[in-house]
Amino acid sequence: MSAPTASERKGCWGARDELWRCLDLNEDQTSACEKHQQEFEAKCPAQWVKYFVKRRDFLKYKEKIQTKGYEPTEGASKLS
């Protein structure tokens, strides 16, 4: 696989941004954003899709920790 051109990268990032915007508006309900998901997967290399999905999950987790704080799960061992 050759490296994506500048216009291909721009198309991929645009599709990613549209998908993320849709997911934000629809509270992460993927069924409402199928069209955007398909476009994102069609315009981006598979490895990039995988990376961007993990990146979004991480950013959402980070945002949750920053706004709501960290609460250990019940039964989690406590370090002494």
Contacts of 43 (CB under 8 A, 6+ apart): 8, 11, 12, 14, 15
Q: Take residue 65 and report the two structure tokens written for it.
A: 């920790």
**What per-residue confidence (pLDDT) applies to 8?**
97
**What per-residue confidence (pLDDT) applies to 53?**
97
Other Cβ atoms less than 10 A from the Cβ of 43: the count is 19
Domain segments of the chain as ranges: 6-68
Q: What pLDDT digit, counting tens, does each position of 23-72 carry? A: 999 998 989 999 999 999 999 999 999 999 999 999 999 999 999 887 77
Q: Is the pLDDT of residue 7 over 60?
A: yes
The predicted model gives 5-29 an average pLDDT of 96
More confident residue, 74 or 57: 57
